């Protein structure tokens, strides 16, 4: 019988193979895995207890918050502030970042950015939702409190990133810059078990994922590329949970687009909490992630915690085709910007 490998075993084994690894990142990844199990427990029974529905507040992005958003946010804070490895957290659900006090006079070496429950609008109708996280080495001295600049780092400087998808099964997918691996939660033993080793995104695929309802609000070059996808008889799949839409594309190939619109002139999705961690995963799996100006998402320098960005990510050959449409139809996009 095939011996299972748990997330904890995998993380520790990987730590041993990287001489510079000192264990703090290992501990942090394990804490995130633990928080994901707790969130999973509540997501899976949300319909049975009064945790569905909307909270009366709005989050930092002005979106109404579901109760499970708050629950997930609080659980992640609980686990990370006692981790000892995390000095602070920036969350899509919080206006500002949270500083964690030192544990045993030891400040954490890392900061975490997180979307605690991505796709929360889908919670009440039992459609997949997710958690997205990114981990940075802090820039400020380890013996001082974190500052905003610790969180405003480009995605290229992530030391780890990943997501959890709470769907027909609960899968944690992460990378520390050495490829992408997926772990499926086995409820019978309460462990994430290695289920998808060394994930590689197909060079192209049968899906394009975009909110067609905004088609007329997209710029010409995006509409022309979407028309092209439709003419190719690609299949349109859009769940409205970025984690779920990217998860499909990671395994079966395709392209995900959320271009800018009149309502969101810079794009809707958050650079820190959604675009960067998922772009990191997609690139580590061999894909590409750009904005509508063909800037590489991971090279964008964040200027504020809740900065938004347009995003197109997925199979490399399809992103290259999309870029050709931008070159052809977008006004004054320099050829070298690809
Ligand atoms: P729309 C969920 O609210 C989210 O942030 C992403 O997970 C998702 O891709 C997008 O917004 C959906 O936005 O405007 O299509 O409903």
- Ligand 1 centroid to residue 62 C-alpha, Å: 13
> What confidence tens digit (pLDDT) does each residue in 126-154 have?
899 999 999 999 999 998 999 999 999 99
57, with CB counted inside 10 A (0-12, 13-18, 19+), is exposed
Mean pLDDT across the stretch 300-317?
98
Residue 268, ligand 1, Cβ within 6 A? yes
Residue from 194, 144, 164 nearest 281 by CA: 164
- Nearest-angstrom CA–CA distance, 68 and 89: 18
Q: Please, which residues have CB within 8 angstroms of residue 232's CB and are 6 or more apart in sequence? A: none
pLDDT value for 162: 98
Residue 248, ligand 1, Cβ within 6 A? no
> What confidence tens digit (pLDDT) does each residue in 284-294 have?
999 999 999 99
Which domains does the chain possess?
A: 7-196 (3.30.540.10), 207-330 (3.40.190.80)
Q: What is the mean pLDDT of the chain?
A: 91
- Nearest-angstrom CA–CA distance, 171 and 130: 9
Report the predicted TM-score, pTM, of the whole model to 2 decimal places.
0.94
- Nearest-angstrom CA–CA distance, 134 and 176: 10
- Nearest-angstrom CA–CA distance, 42 and 48: 9
Residue 241, ligand 1, Cβ within 6 A? yes
303, with CB counted inside 10 A (0-12, 13-18, 19+), is exposed
- Ligand 1 centroid to residue 118 C-alpha, Å: 8
- Nearest-angstrom CA–CA distance, 285 and 315: 9
pLDDT value for 338: 46
Q: For residue 192, what pLDDT band results from cuts at 50, 70 and 90?
A: very high
- Ligand 1 centroid to residue 119 C-alpha, Å: 6
pLDDT value for 78: 92
- Ligand 1 centroid to residue 103 C-alpha, Å: 37
């Amino acid at each position: 019988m095939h011996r299972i490998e748990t997330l904890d075993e995998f993380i520790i084994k990987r730590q041993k193979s990287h001489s510079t690894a000192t264990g703090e990142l290992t501990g942090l990844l394990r804490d995130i895995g633990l928080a994901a199990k707790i969130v999973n427990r509540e997501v899976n029974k949300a319909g049975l207890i009064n945790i569905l529905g909307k909270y009366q507040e709005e989050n930092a992005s002005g979106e109404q918050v579901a109760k499970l958003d708050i629950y997930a946010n609080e659980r992640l804070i609980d686990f990370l502030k006692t981790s000892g490895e995390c000095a602070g957290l920036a969350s899509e659900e919080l206006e500002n970042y949270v500083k964690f006090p030192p544990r045993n006079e030891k400040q954490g070496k890392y900061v975490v950015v997180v979307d605690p429950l991505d796709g929360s609008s889908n919670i009440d109708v039992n459609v997949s939702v997710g958690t997205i996280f990114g981990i940075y080495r802090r820039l400020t001295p380890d013996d001082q409190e974190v500052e905003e600049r610790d969180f405003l780092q480009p995605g290229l400087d992530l030391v780890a990133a990943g997501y959890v998808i709470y769907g027909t099964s609960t899968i944690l997918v992460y990378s520390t810059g050495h490829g992408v691996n997926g772990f499926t939660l086995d409820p019978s033993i309460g462990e994430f078990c290695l289920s998808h080793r060394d994930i590689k995104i197909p060079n192209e695929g049968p899906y394009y994922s975009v909110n067609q309802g905004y088609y007329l609000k997209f710029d010409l070059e995006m509409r022309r590329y979407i028309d092209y996808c439709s003419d190719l008889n690609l299949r349109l799949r859009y769940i409205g949970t970025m984690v779920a839409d990217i998860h499909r594309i990671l395994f079966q190939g395709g392209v995900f687009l959320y271009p800018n619109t009149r309502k969101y002139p810079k794009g809707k999705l958050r650079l820190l909490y959604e675009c960067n961690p998922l772009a990191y995963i997609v690139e580590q799996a061999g894909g590409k992630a750009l904005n509508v100006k063909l800037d590489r998402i991971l090279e964008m320098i964040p200027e504020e915690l809740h900065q938004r960005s347009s995003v197109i990510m997925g199979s490399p050959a399809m992103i290259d085709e999309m870029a050709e449409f931008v070159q052809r139809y977008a006004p004054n996009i320099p050829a070298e910007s690809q």
